[in-house]
Each structure stands twice: as structure tokens, then as C-alpha cells.
A and B are shown apart, each in its own frame.
Chain A
Amino acid sequence: MTDRLPGFSTLAVHAGAQPDPTTGARVTPIYQTTSFVFNDADHAASLFGLQAFGNIYTRIGNPTTAVLEERVAALEGGTAALAVASGHAAQVVVLQQLLMPGDEFIAARKLYGGSINQFTHAFKSFGWNVAWADPDDIGSFERAVTPRTKAIFIESIANPAGSITDIEAIAEVARNAGVPLIVDNTLATPYLIRPIDHGADIVVHSLTKFLGGHGNSLGGIIVDGGTFDWSKGNKYPMLNEPRPEYHGIRIQETFGNFAFAIACRVLGLRDLGPAISPFNAFMILTGIETLPLRMQKHCENAKAVAEFLAGHSAVASVNYAGLASDRYNKLARKYAPKGAGAVFTFSLRGGYDAGVNLVSNLKLFSHLANVGDTRSLVIHPASTTHSQLDDAAKVKSGAAPDVVRLSIGIEDKEDLIADLEQALTA
């Protein structure tokens, strides 16, 4: 067969979307409705019993959201996806399918501070226990495996310091342990890194960041790699045992290589309820159409800003994996050859006070708790996103008190550098 296969940018614009059947609308409409009429009683029963493809109620699925799901699944090279209300919701729904009370999962210590909180506190009350491992020491993952380990969770490019994780090495640990590897690919996006190609089984995103890309809508998504055999070892009752909530259906047996995404939808989202609004799905879909263009500009600007900061006398150090001198540069060249992302940290010779001053002197950068916006953003993690951690955990997660985090936007890089220059010398 010599059929030409569409490339990434074509998928970013087209995957999952098709002109609307009734109106011919070319852009995916916003199906702002809670519910969908059934053709007849048999159709309703078939939909509720998962026997037919179609729409019931927007908490379970929605046609606008479905386009977003297929698009991200296509970009990540997965078999299916499920969009939810936020990145955090995606994490809850994923782990609910994998862990029973008393079970454990291993998580990289370098994570978004909110995820560290969620795993440490909220999940503890569900009886899900997290074991922390150091992504710079693969052996620490191996040593953390126990008979109750059900999953491993890492970030591809870790928030806040933009460090790069050796996905393939950790995938090997997961494979040997017989558990799926979950990768939070929020900061890389599939444009820079496709974790499934490197051995991940499940990918999650906060769509709120670069995928949506414009800082206007919260969302999260779960992508099923279709790579994990849930029947092996009988460890995953949500996927492999007859489900009483569906009259005894076995999800893996019925849905094959997209069973995990279906379990997340019909056992997770249906019952926990964190549905994304169709309007947000529409905004994020529109954002994704320009993902390749935006990521190129984000990365180009980030590299220029990092180089400027590295050469500035007020700056003690810059952590950006795109710099040749960075300790993660080798991993960046392997996993993210198109660019090391646009979120990174640096520390100031003047310590905590200089960090606080810098943030208040900046005129173009916005001081706020988000990343992955068209606008350039700045924050002091130790007093905000990572403030609930103790000092030792702050340092371990890359958010020491003298550290400032930037998320570089798609403005003109000269303007960003000029703003930093004036704020550093003010």
C-alpha cells in the first residue's frame, strides 16, 4: 500500500472532525445540550447497555467533546481518549480504574505541586497510597515496586523546572512490574513528545495549558495507548471482571484495545461526574488547530530567553533542558528534539527577595498560577503552586525558595527579553 499518511499538523486540524451532517457547518458546532433524544425504546436500551454508538447525556459523552477526544487520541497515537473537566479530574478518573483501597502507585517526585498535593492528601482518603521515586534515579522506581503496586505516574517534561524524564527507562520498570505507565504530557504536548511511542500505556493532560493554549478554558484528557493487557495477572477488576453496574459486562473483553478509555468513561466519568463543558471542548479544539505553530514559537522564544538569563549577572542559574550546558540536555535531545518546551525555572543571586522583586517589576509577564498560555507568565512556586510542601519537598520537586518559574508565550522574544532586562536591573 502506498497511501500517503497525514502528518501531525494535518491531524491537528482535521482528526475527529467532519462537516456537520445536518447543516454542513465546517467548524465543529458547540453542542450545548445536556441530553439527546432516543429514536425509540430499543435504541435507548442499546445505548444504555453500551451496545450502540451514540449520545445519551453530556456527563457521559457529547459530540463536540468527542471530536476533541479523537483529535488528541490521534495526535498522541493512542486508540481512544476521554476528555474531562480538568487535568486533575483526569488523574482521579485514571487511578480510580486502577487502584482499589489499600493499593499503591509509584509517582515521580518531580511533579506539578497540585499533583503532589492530590496524591498525598486527597488520594490517601480513598485508600490509594503513593510511593515517591526520583526520576533522576531509575533504581528508586524499581525499589518502590511492591505486590500492591498498580501503576507508575510521571511527567514527561516536569513542572516546574522543565526537567526531562527518561520515559523509556521507567517504561521498562513498569513492564517488568506488570503495571501500566501513566505519563502526564501536559508540558510537552504530543507535538514535542509522544510518550506512547516511548513505552507509556496511558497519557493524561491538563488541556488547560498548551493544548488549549490560550489560557481561557479548563480541561483534561486521558489517552488510552491500547498497549496494556488488562487480563494479565487479574490485577484490574474494573477492566477484567464482570461489572455489576453494567449487568456483568467485562470491559476488556468487549472493547479490546480501547477498553481503558471506555472504563474511564462508563465507570469513572459516569459515576464521578467531572464532565467538561462542550463550550470548553470547543475552545480547546480551536486551540489545538494551531498547536504545532504555537509550540515552535514557544520553544524558540523559551530558548532565547533562557540564553539571555544564563548570561545575566543577576542570575545564579537557569534550568532549561534546551541549553547545551543543562543536565537534562541529553534527554531533551533524545525525547524532545523539536524543542524542550517553554516552562522552566531560574534562580537569582539575590535569593527569595530578588525573586519577589522581579515578579513585581515585570510589565509584560503576568504574575499568575498557570502555564502554557499565549502570554508569557511568571510565578514564584515556593510561595504559590508548591507552597503546601515543606522545604525539603520544595527543593526535591524543583521549587526551592529562590526559584522563579517562567512560562514563555508567543510574543516577540525581543520584547520578553527587554522586559526581563528592565525588571532585573530595576
Chain B
Amino acid sequence: MNHDSYDDNYIRGILNGVKSIAMVGASPVNVRPSYFAFKYLAQRGYDMIPVNPGHVGKSLLGKPFVASLSDIGRPVDMIDIFRNSSHIMPVVDEALTLSPLPKVIWMQLGARDDAAAERAEAAGLKVVMNRCPKIEYGRLSSEISWMGVNSRTLSSKRAPIPTQGMRLSLNRTSVGGGATTASDRAAKNRSEPT
């Protein structure tokens, strides 16, 4: 599995398929990227579970924090990991002890651990690395186009009226561009040591 660039259909399949998402490293601080993503995904109808041992007893947008994945106490479809690359492996190991297993391990923008990805894939999970599910949802629905972002999708159908809390269709025509010369160059630049 190539983790430098993903086919839109792969990402679309994941975002259309999962219903519950446990966010490891979710922050209650409203300028942190995890807070942005948590709030957005909750508004788009995902069942969000904040996981952060530092905030147990509090809640994030009405959802109580749990200390670890094993404390969730019910099946969860996707684990979204908001931790640095060096902290990914233990989270994946813990995810692989859950029963039933989650379907997807998602590592946030900037985070990548190929060995952890391999382990999860060997157990039959799908893996996404170095992406943000909020950005990908916004892109495939084209909601992100409000910010001048290239959604790399087209549609000649009338757009839905964007209201809060609405699930948006992600099934637009892909323009491609996930694997362009530029994106390959970017991936290469990023993987070179600083």
C-alpha cells in the first residue's frame, strides 16, 4: 500500500463507511488542530469519542473524555491519532487489542509511522497517514472550496444548501491530482531529514 498519496476512492470509502471515531490526543483547547477536527467531524454526524488521559472527568463539546482506547467500552470504527510520529506505535498496539477490532487507523497531518501502519494492515485494518479527516471530508464534499482550496473534484449536480450538522455527499467526480509530480516532490521533501 502506497502511503505517499491516496486514491480518492480509498479515502471516500473510509469516510463513507465509518460511523464512530475515537480521537486519541483530542484537546479541549480551541485553537488546537485536534479541536478543529473533532468539532467539524461531530457536526458532520460522526459519533466522536475524545481520548486523552489528561482530561478525564471533563468533556469535549458534550462528549466525556476517556483515558485510553480500552476505556471506551463499546465498538469503535476508526482511531484518529493526534500524536507525534514517535507516539503512534503504542496507540496502534492498544487498538489491536480491542474486540471487535476497529476498521481504520488514521494518523493526523504530520504523523507517519510505517512500521505501525504495517502492523495494523497485517491485522486487516485500513491505514491513512499524514492526512486530516476534516480536510479530506471538506475536500471530497467540496465544502472546503469556500476557502479557495482545490477539492480536486467536479460535479454538475445542484449543490446542497450547506447547513449545520448535515452529512454531505462525498461522491463527486475525482479530478485526480493525488499523485502528481508536485505531490510526489512534496512527499519526498518532507521525508528528507531536516
Contact = CB atoms under 8 A, between A and B. Distances in A.
Given A52-B40, A74-B175, A61 B31 contact: no
B189 A227 contact: yes
Contacts of B194: 231-233
Contacts of A6: 154, 173, 175
A73 B149 contact: yes
B174 A3 contact: yes
B109 A256 contact: yes
B115 interface: no
Given A78-B182, A82-B148, A196-B181, 4 more contacts: A3-B176, A51-B39, A70-B151, A73-B150
A211 interface: no
Q: Which 7 A-B pairs have the closest CB atoms?
A: A69-B148, A5-B176, A73-B150, A80-B149, A19-B158, A21-B159, A21-B161
B15 to A, nearest CB: 16
A147 interface: no
A253 B31 CA distance: 11
- Among A5, A70, A249: residue with most chain B CB under 10 A: A70
B147 A43 contact: no
B155 interface: yes
26 contacts: A1-B9, A5-B174, A6-B154, A6-B173, A18-B142, A18-B159, A19-B157, A21-B159, A49-B31, A50-B36, A53-B138, A54-B146, A61-B146, A66-B148, A69-B148, A70-B150, A74-B150, A229-B190, A233-B194, A249-B31, A253-B33, A253-B110, A256-B110, A256-B131, A257-B186, A258-B147
Interface in B165-194: 173-177, 180-183, 185-186, 189-190, 194
Interface residues on chain A, size class: 35 or more
A246 B31 contact: yes
B148 A73 contact: yes
B156 interface: yes
Contacts of B129: none
B182 A225 contact: yes
Interface of B: 7, 9, 30-31, 33, 35-36, 39-40, 43, 109-110, 131-132, 135, 138, 142-152, 154-164, 173-177, 180-183, 185-186, 189-190, 194
Interface string A224-244: 011111011100000000000
